[in-house]
Amino acid sequence: MPAKKPNLIVVVSDTLRAADLGCYGGRDTRTPQMDVFASQAAVFDAAYPESLPTIPVRRALHTGRRAYPFRDCRPVPWDIVYLPGWQPLDSREDTLAEHLVAQGYHTGFVTDTLPYFAPGMNFTRGFLQWEFVRGQQQDRWRSPHTVTDEMLRRFGDPAEARRHEALLYHAANTAGVAGEEETSTARVFRWAMRFLEDNRRAQPFYLLVDAFAPHEPWDPPRSYFEIYADPDAGPIVPFLPYQRDWAGLAPERVARAVAGYRGLVSLVDTWFGRFMEALGRLDLLEDTLVTLISDHGTNLGENPDHVVGKPSFALFPAVMQVPLIVRPPGREGPGRRIAEPVYNHDLTATLFDLAGARSEQGLDGRSLRPLLEGAPGWQPREHLTCRYGDDLWCRDEAWWLIYALDGTLQYAFDLAADPGCRSNRAHDCPEAARRLGWQRLLDDAGGEMPREDFRSKATDAIGRPVGEWLAAKRRRAAPSEAEG
């Protein structure tokens, strides 16, 4: 690493599965730009989120501290998701961006990740420039009342489509998108490239680029969809219910959803490549550390119960293993593979370290610098833990374990015999492994697992409990709309 403070860039791609990248062994999705990037970088083969889903992950990435196990739940009214840990940054919490400004960094943040936009989320603190790119998912941006049956016909039966609020907003928000350049993904990366041009002489800088794709809705530009399927051979399937056993869906419907997902992965890959080209064109690669990471993946049926999506109980490798690829400044020559299990918030601790910053409130993450530099100093973890909703995950070298909040073991996978986690051994998992996993979850939670009724902690503007109108919303919505 250079002696001077490096520029720091973090690119987050929401729901990007490690298994779909060529550099992680994927063969079904085209990711040439990310694969070239990985060939010049350190690729972490065992990176995991410390909590899930979208907002808990961002809380850890912005602060370097764990959101797990979700204490002091503070949901906000008029959000689209209500889950344990899904809450704003506390105004008393320090953030990476604030500390980098104190170290002389110029900071920027661009995102089209919709959950950031909820009232009072407070994630822009510390950024001297920031931009919210509108139009993703059910962003309350364009009017759903402008959506005609003709606009919905590409998704199948218009009457059925009208039952799904997220689909109506998606149709309204994308009605004016004529091509790839007008997608929110392209707009995010174009803003990021403009930031590079404007601030290439304002080094050091920190730039956070948080792209929502390939999260649902799985509706890429036509040229990307047709890489994987015929756009005219059936309806576009932008959402699937989060359930077991393929959710009772016809195989061709699942296949078209997967084609949409892969099309979005390739879209992100293209624009990530253009962003890296801009770094090279502006002669910034020599002084800049660039990281590509995701918050989580999603299931596409490759698990014991044929789950599609990411319901909280389905903490299988397709959800839990995230790409983490770090290209140090001035990297030339072949990259490296790092097998050491790490957390996502270890990246934040690394950025603190590289910038010479220190959080007075402390960090839970561990700097990856020794692993990146091949130097002594890394302290290996014996296990990792995570919480998502009311479900919990723990893994070590031997077992991959998924528990309910009451301690019931739901899934157990023997990693030596079944590294892909395809055969559930919960019924005959050794008692010692079962007890050890649960004790580790409790220990990481400070000895007791919070079980707060988080919905009772928020009311809407006229005093109704959030849970009341959330329940009504979910009765109207597709199952996938209730997840982050």
Q: Are 257 and 404 found together in one domain?
A: no
The two three-digit tokens of residue 49, written as one number = 């989120």
What are the tens digits of pLDDT across the range 200-250?
999 999 999 999 999 999 999 999 999 999 999 999 999 998 888 876 778
Q: What is the CA radius of gyration of the chain?
A: 22
**Residue 96's CB: how many other CB atoms inside 10 A?**
27
Q: Considering its fold, how many domains does the chain have in total?
A: 2
The answer to whether residues 218 and 238 touch, using CB atoms and an 8 Å cutoff, is yes
Phi, psi of 245 (to 5 degrees): 55, 45
**What is the reported pLDDT for 457?**
60
**What is the reported pLDDT for 81?**
86
**What is the reported pLDDT for 94?**
97
The answer to whether residues 185 and 211 touch, using CB atoms and an 8 Å cutoff, is yes
| Coil vs helix vs strand at 431 | helix
- Whether 286 is in a domain gets the answer yes
Q: What is the DSSP letter of 41?
A: S
- Whether 315 is in a domain gets the answer yes
Q: Are 182 and 163 found together in one domain?
A: yes
Q: Are 314 and 418 found together in one domain?
A: no
- Whether 416 is in a domain gets the answer yes
**Angle between helix 345-355 and 54-63 (nearest 10):** 20
The answer to whether residues 201 and 102 touch, using CB atoms and an 8 Å cutoff, is no
**Residue 401's CB: how many other CB atoms inside 10 A?**
28
- Whether 419 is in a domain gets the answer yes
Q: Are 428 and 462 found together in one domain?
A: no
- Whether 396 is in a domain gets the answer yes
Q: Are 356 and 409 found together in one domain?
A: no
- Whether 276 is in a domain gets the answer yes
Alpha carbon 41 to its chain's center: 20
Please give the full DSSP string across 191-203, using - where no structure is assigned. HHHHHHHHHTTS-
- Whether 2 is in a domain gets the answer no
Which of 241, 311, 298 has the alpha carbon at shortest distance from 264? Answer: 298
Sign of CA dihedral 424, 426, 432, 438: positive
Q: What's the CA gap between 213 and 77, in Å, rounded?
A: 25
What are the tens digits of pLDDT across the range 301-319?
999 999 999 999 999 999 9
Please state, in angstroms and as integers, the Cα–Cα distance from residue 352 to each residue in 1, 8, 92, 95, following that order. Answer: 14, 10, 19, 10
Phi, psi of 289 (to 5 degrees): -95, 130
The answer to whether residues 323 and 14 touch, using CB atoms and an 8 Å cutoff, is no
**Residue 88's CB: how many other CB atoms inside 10 A?**
18
Q: What's the CA gap between 240 and 255, in Å, rounded?
A: 11
Q: Are 172 and 291 found together in one domain?
A: yes
Q: Are 266 and 317 found together in one domain?
A: yes
- Whether 1 is in a domain gets the answer no
The domain that holds 286 is classified in CATH as: 3.40.720.10
- Contacts with 202 (C-beta within 8 Å, 6 or more apart), sequence order: 106
Q: What's the CA gap between 53 and 39, in Å, rounded?
A: 29
Say what the pTM is: 0.94
Q: Are 286 and 222 found together in one domain?
A: yes
Q: Are 258 and 184 found together in one domain?
A: yes
Q: What is the DSSP letter of 133?
A: P
The domain that holds 444 is classified in CATH as: 3.30.1120.10
Please give the full DSSP string across 129-198, using - where no structure is assigned. EEEEPP-STT-S-S-GGG--HHHHGGGS-HHHHTT-HHHHHHHHHTTT--SGGGSHHHHHHHHHHHHHHH
Q: What's the CA gap between 234 and 256, in Å, rounded?
A: 8
Q: Are 262 and 401 found together in one domain?
A: no
The conformational region for residue 120 under phi > 0 = left, psi -120 to 50 = alpha, else beta, is left
- Contacts with 287 (C-beta within 8 Å, 6 or more apart), sequence order: 2, 4, 6, 7, 203, 204, 329, 330
The two three-digit tokens of residue 367, written as one number = 């700097």
The two three-digit tokens of residue 165, written as one number = 């609020």
Q: What's the CA gap between 283 and 34, in Å, rounded?
A: 20
The two three-digit tokens of residue 57, written as one number = 């992950």
**What is the reported pLDDT for 37?**
97
* Total residue count of the chain as it appears in this document: 484
Q: What's the CA gap between 386 and 85, in Å, rounded?
A: 12
Please state, in angstroms and as integers, the Cα–Cα distance from residue 481 to each residue in 163, 217, 309, 316, following that order. Answer: 12, 10, 11, 20
Alpha carbon 403 to its chain's center: 22
Q: Which structural domain range is residue 275 located in?
A: 7-382+453-482
Q: Are 468 and 443 found together in one domain?
A: no
Q: Are 434 and 410 found together in one domain?
A: yes
Low-confidence ranges of the chain (pLDDT < 50): 1-2, 478-483
